[in-house]
Amino acid sequence: MALSRRQLLNLTGGVVLLPMSPRIARAETYPARPVRWVIGFSAGSSPDIFTRLMAQWLSQRLGQPFIVENRPGAGSNIGTEQVVRATPDGYTLLLTTSANVWNASLYDNLSFDFQRDIVPVAGVVRGLGVMEVGPSFPAKSVPEFIAYAKANPGKINMGSSGVGSPQHLYGELFKMMTGVNLVHVPYRGPPQSLTALFAGEIEVMFNTLSTSIEHVKAGRLRALAVTSAARSDLLPDIPTVGEFVPGYEATSWQGVGAPAGTPSGIIDTLNREINAGLADANLRARIEALGYSPFASSAAALGSFVAEETGKWSKVIRAAGIKAN
pLDDT value, residue 325: 67
* Same domain? 171 vs 213: yes
Which whole number is the average pLDDT over 95-121?
A: 96
* Same domain? 135 vs 123: no
Q: Quick one: 90 exposed, middle or buried, by C-beta within 10 A (0-12, 13-18, 19+)?
A: buried
Residue 95 lies in a domain: yes
CATH of the domain at 144: 3.40.190.10
Tens digit of each residue's pLDDT (9 = 90 or more) over 124-171: 999 999 999 999 999 999 999 999 999 999 999 999 999 999 999 999
Q: Residue 186: which H helix or E strand, with range?
A: strand 182-186
* Same domain? 137 vs 88: no
Whose CA is closest to 39, among 69, 16, 63? 69
Q: Specify the amino acid at residue 312.
A: K
pLDDT value, residue 28: 56
Tens digit of each residue's pLDDT (9 = 90 or more) over 193-224: 999 999 999 999 999 998 899 999 999 999 99
- Give the domain-ending residue among 223, 243, 263: 243
Domain carrying residue 210:
128-243
Whose CA is closest to 241, among 97, 323, 131? 131
Tens digit of each residue's pLDDT (9 = 90 or more) over 280-317: 999 999 999 888 999 999 999 999 999 999 999 999 99
Give the chain's mean pLDDT: 91
Residue 252, pLDDT > 90, answer yes
Residue 163 lies in a domain: yes
Residue 325 lies in a domain: no
